Chain A
Amino acid sequence: MAQYVVRRLLLLVPVVIGILLITFLMKALIPTDAVTAMYQGQLSEKEAAQAIATLRAKYHLDLPWYQQFFIYVGDLMQGDFGESIRLRKPVIDEIGYRYVNTILLTALSLVIALVLGLTTGILAAARRNTWLDVTATTVGLFGISMPAFFFGLLLILVFSVWLRILPVVPHGWMAIILPAFALGIIEAAPLSQVARSNMIDVMRRDYILAARARGQSEMALIFRHALPNALIVVLTVVGLQIGNLLGGAFIVETIFSWHGIGELAVNAIQWRDFALTQAIILISAATYLIINLVADIMYAWLDPRVELVS
């Protein structure tokens, strides 16, 4: 097992370097560099030229790109993600608590998506071609076609305005309910489809026929024989699904004023605050990478067919 994990980690090295290069290049590719953006229109031309020269040196913008890259990676290693031009403070200070918020939101919506998606998917597969299956499939299609931002607004309209179950500006734990459901319900749809099609696929296999021929009841076939097989496949999708949740957080956080890194990213891009944007993208990509690594390792651990020793 340890050997497998090490091998899997080694495979990640080029990907990590690639991600670092991309986030680094983001800055290089941007037409106006950060310093120019910082003082645009605020100082006289002469003052500006002076300030820019000092700051260019300070941020190593006068060095060749590869040296800048090593300085960038070196800074990251020391936990230095740069300074936000707009917020005038280290990026890490702003991102810290917002990252926790985003993880909370993503985790809760994942739970909602899993519970809803798996139960409907498995039920639909077990009662294939009945009204239950048709309903689940149709609702799933609705979920896939529903823009997250519109769905979020609908939830506010229904629960806060019409039904008045939740306050319009919720505080504390209440604030996470609607965004989590907005994300969770939407992501439940593709999960449900994957669970359904995998269950149907597994239920067609010979070993299910053979188990049925041994007198196993339908319930036993579904839960003891088919489900473990189907879930292993679903697990691989869940890893990717979390990417959608992280991505969806950008929109949903904006709508519900949930102070996570998604909301911050949207603002950072509009502010042209590149250090901030860069850091958020890097952290999100790293999170996604780690989640998929964990999913892969779990998959290898759960599926006996994956040989752990090479």
Chain B
Amino acid sequence: MSTVVLEEPIVAIIPRWRVMAGKLLRNRAAVVGGSVVLALLLLAAFAPWIAPYDPFKINPVQRLKPPSFQHWFGTDEVGRDLLSRIIFGTRYFLLICLITASISATIGTLLGLIAGAGSALTDSIIMRIIDILLAFPYILLVLVVVAILGPSLWTGMAAVGIAGIPGYARLVRSSVLTVKREDYVTSARALGASDAEILFGTVLPNVMSPLIVYLAFATPLSALIASALSFAGLGTQPPAPEWGAMLVNSRTYLFSAWWAVAAPGMALFISIFGMNILGNGLRDVLDPRS
């Protein structure tokens, strides 16, 4: 039976982002994860003022000293202050996150939009290529690009960024295909909107939520792979205070100076952990299904 609503409920119109922000602030995981990310940003921005020592200053007298009042995290095999190197390392970490995420997300989203909204032929060409790329395990794809470009900080980032493209493309394509079938897109089309208007005005905003959640989980994974590359000597090269690269030499001293391994390892772990629980919080807020 049909019913007629007599009185419209009076609801104050609050912008969607403010509702989301409010929900995020009440989500414990998001707050903890967000604090970690914020701390990383602050450390990176003010590294020269916060760090007690020069991160590159070699001091053979002070080599492999355990944590002490002078050197909170101890010193490494050439006497550099680990705390200072960790603090400067945040810059590398965030740079890696930014560059890899930008490469994968921008190109992947574009490809996904084109495949999802374009003609059947474009779609199948793009998706066949994506399928082939996805036939490689993720790390293997990274290694393919590193093998071609040669190992360095920038090629490592490019490799991780490129290897992340297929994931984004597939996510965006399937979201676009879902959204395309929704009534509001049909009605926008019925109202005479052009394809581009529909794609960027109607479809993209509705794809944003899954995209943000994916970004929140894919970015720490990229950072993890990039630091693993550095650790294997295929990414950032020592003496840069990148956390993965810091382990290259210090792992030799694992038995005598565990702190030289623990400091960069823990820094990496805490940062990734923070980003992952921020992702959990974002997913809880943005994904209506969970």
A→B interface (CB under 8 Å):
14-15, 18-19, 22-23, 26, 29-30, 141-142, 144-150, 153-154, 156-157, 161, 168, 243-244, 246-248, 250-251, 254-255, 265-266, 268-270, 272, 274, 277, 281, 284-285, 288-289
Residues of B contacting A30 with CB < 8 Å? 147-148
Q: Is the CB of B137 within 8 A of A147?
A: no
B→A interface (CB under 8 Å):
128-129, 131-132, 135-140, 143-144, 146-148, 150-151, 220, 224, 227-228, 231-234, 244, 247, 251, 254-255, 258, 261, 264-265, 268-269, 272-273, 275-277, 280
In the bound complex, CA of A19 to CA of B147 (Å):
15
Q: Is the CB of A148 within 8 A of B228?
A: yes
Prevailing SS type, chain B contact patch: helix
Closest residue of chain B to A14 (Cβ to Cβ) is: B128
Q: How far in angstroms is the closest Cβ of chain B from A84?
A: 14
In the bound complex, CA of A149 to CA of B272 (Å):
14
Q: How far in angstroms is the closest Cβ of chain A from B169?
A: 15
Residues of A contacting B140 with CB < 8 Å? 243, 246-247, 281, 284-285, 288
Q: Which 9 A-B pairs have the closest CB atoms?
A: A247-B139, A18-B132, A243-B137, A150-B265, A145-B273, A145-B272, A247-B137, A149-B231, A266-B232
Q: Is the CB of A288 within 8 A of B137?
A: yes
Q: Is the CB of B269 within 8 A of A147?
A: yes
Q: Is the CB of A26 within 8 A of B136?
A: no
Q: Is the CB of A153 within 8 A of B138?
A: no
Q: How far in angstroms is the closest Cβ of chain B from A86?
A: 14
In the bound complex, CA of A30 to CA of B151 (Å):
12
Q: Is the CB of A153 within 8 A of B137?
A: no
Q: Is the CB of B136 within 8 A of A19?
A: yes
Q: Is the CB of B228 within 8 A of A289?
A: no
Given A153-B261, A168-B255, A281-B144: A288 in contact with B136 (beta carbons within 8 A): yes
In the bound complex, CA of A142 to CA of B272 (Å):
9
Given A26-B147, A281-B147: A150 in contact with B247 (beta carbons within 8 A): yes
Q: Is the CB of A251 within 8 A of B231?
A: yes
Q: Is the CB of B258 within 8 A of A157?
A: yes
Q: How far in angstroms is the closest Cβ of chain A from B135?
A: 5
Q: Is the CB of A284 within 8 A of B137?
A: yes
Residues of B contacting A270 with CB < 8 Å? 151, 233-234
Q: Is the CB of A150 within 8 A of B268?
A: yes
Given A18-B132, A141-B277, A254-B232: A244 in contact with B138 (beta carbons within 8 A): yes
Given A141-B280, A150-B269, A161-B255: A251 in contact with B132 (beta carbons within 8 A): no
In the bound complex, CA of A146 to CA of B268 (Å):
8
Residues of B contacting A14 with CB < 8 Å? 128, 131-132
Q: How far in angstroms is the closest Cβ of chain A from B92?
A: 14
Q: Is the CB of B234 within 8 A of A269?
A: yes
Closest residue of chain B to A148 (Cβ to Cβ) is: B228
Q: How far in angstroms is the closest Cβ of chain B from A283?
A: 10
Q: Is the CB of B151 within 8 A of A269?
A: yes
Residues of B contacting A161 with CB < 8 Å? 254-255, 258
Q: How far in angstroms is the closest Cβ of chain A from B170?
A: 13
Closest residue of chain B to A284 (Cβ to Cβ) is: B140
In the bound complex, CA of A288 to CA of B231 (Å):
24
In the bound complex, CA of A277 to CA of B151 (Å):
13
Q: Is the CB of B254 within 8 A of A153?
A: yes
Closest residue of chain A to B265 (Cβ to Cβ) is: A150
In the bound complex, CA of A289 to CA of B232 (Å):
25
Given A150-B268, A288-B136: A26 in contact with B144 (beta carbons within 8 A): yes
Given A147-B265, A156-B254, A251-B232: A277 in contact with B136 (beta carbons within 8 A): no
Q: Is the CB of A142 within 8 A of B231?
A: no
Partner among A141, A149, A154, A266 whose Cβ is within 8 Å of the Cβ of B234: A266
Q: How far in angstroms is the closest Cβ of chain A from B8?
A: 33
In the bound complex, CA of A22 to CA of B128 (Å):
13
Q: Is the CB of A154 within 8 A of B136?
A: no
Q: Is the CB of B147 within 8 A of A277?
A: yes
Q: Is the CB of A22 within 8 A of B132?
A: yes
Residues of A contacting B147 with CB < 8 Å? 26, 30, 268-269, 274, 277, 281
In the bound complex, CA of A145 to CA of B247 (Å):
17
In the bound complex, CA of A6 to CA of B139 (Å):
29
